[in-house]
Amino acid sequence: TGNVSAGTSVFAMVVLEKALEKVHEEIDMVTTPAGDAVAMVHCNNCTSDLNAWVNIFKEFAEAFGMKVEMNDLFGTLYNKALEGDVDCGGLMSYNFFAGEPVVGLDEGRPLFVRMPDSKFNLANFMRANLYASLEVLKVGMDILLKEEKVAVDEILGHGGLFKTKGVGQSILAAALDTPVSVMETAGEGGAWGIALLASYMNNKAEDEALDDYLDAKVFAGQKGTKMDPDPKDVEGYNTFIERFKKTLPIMKAATETMK
């Protein structure tokens, strides 16, 4: 099992059943509090560029004298993305506010690129930006899932990307080709993990393992939704990520020439 936290930055943590065969610079090795080995892919960029574009639409609405609630604006634009082509119509977004060691970039230059004949519409634009929020995570996770053949039964998603019901969840499922579950409280953050550990230390029964405590007293009865990846979305995201990897020299040139 594993989890993905997607907000200003994004990281995935997958609990391993056996050691990785190779050392990968893109993957950090850590452990759970119970001592199980965990492979982590951490990326510096996630929703910052996406949020910046949503703010542009907020300014557009305000220029026409309309008052728009941010939750409504995010929800409308995110759901619009689901109407887009699965490969984003050939649009390409690089959400790099900062550098990304996973793909060898020391600095960030947010960019949006398209061919003259790309299908440039609002749905594809929003879908490309949502795809971009997970593009580097996808590169790192492919090392785990495809090269190392790590089998992941389910990913638990949490963070701001999942506040709009079903959208971030479906895109993460497509990116990782893995079922994604999201709890009702997925959009809420905070130092919850350390609070759970404190609760465990204060309230556990004698010899009660942390895993058992969490299953029986924390997650039991929690409401949430599970979403399987749509094969068409998986194919579309794979097309997008291949385009992303081929065009990364654009980002390298931008960091070198735009100072």
Over the stretch 227-258, which tens digit does the pLDDT of each residue have?
999 999 999 999 999 999 999 999 999 999 99
**pLDDT tens sequence across 192-205:** 788 889 999 999 99
How far apart CA 97 and CA 99 sit, in angstroms, is 7
Residue 212: Cβ within 10 Å count: 12
Residue 24 vs residues 99, 100, 111, 133, 142: alpha-carbon distances, Å: 18, 15, 28, 22, 12
**Distance, CA of 18 to CA of 175 (rounded, Å):** 24
pLDDT, mean of residues 175-198: 85
In contact, 31 and 41? CB cutoff 8 Å: no
Cα–Cα distance for residue pair 142/145, rounded to 1 Å: 5
pLDDT of residue 189: 61
Q: Strand 10-15 relative to strand 37-43: parallel, antiparallel, unpaired?
A: antiparallel
Contact 163, 49 (CB under 8 A): no
Q: Is the pLDDT of residue 7 over 80?
A: yes
CA angle 193, 196, 199 (to 5 degrees): 155
User: Do residues 46 and 6 lie in contact, with contact meaning Cβ atoms separated by under 8 Å?
Assistant: yes
Cβ atoms of 178 and 154 within 8 Å: the answer is: yes
Please answer whether residues 81 and 42 qualify as being in contact, where contact means their C-beta atoms are separated by less than 8 angstroms: no
Q: Percentage of the chain surpassing pLDDT 70?
A: 99
Is the torsion defined by CA of 219, 225, 231, 233 positive or negative?
negative
Over residues 60-75, the pLDDT tens digits come to: 999 999 999 999 999 9
CB 37 within 8 A of CB 119: no
pLDDT band per the 50, 70, 90 thresholds, residue 190: low
- Calculate mean pLDDT across residues 173-182: 96
Reference 234, options 181, 182, 179; nearest CA is: 179
- pLDDT at 188 exceeding the cut of 70: no
What pTM was estimated for this model as a whole? 0.93
Residues 6+ apart with CB under 8 A from 200: 210, 213, 214
Of 44, 46, 10, 40, the closest CA to residue 26 belongs to 40
What pLDDT score does 192 carry? 78
Residue keyed to tokens 């510096």: 44
Q: Are 95 and 50 in contact (CB under 8 A)?
A: yes
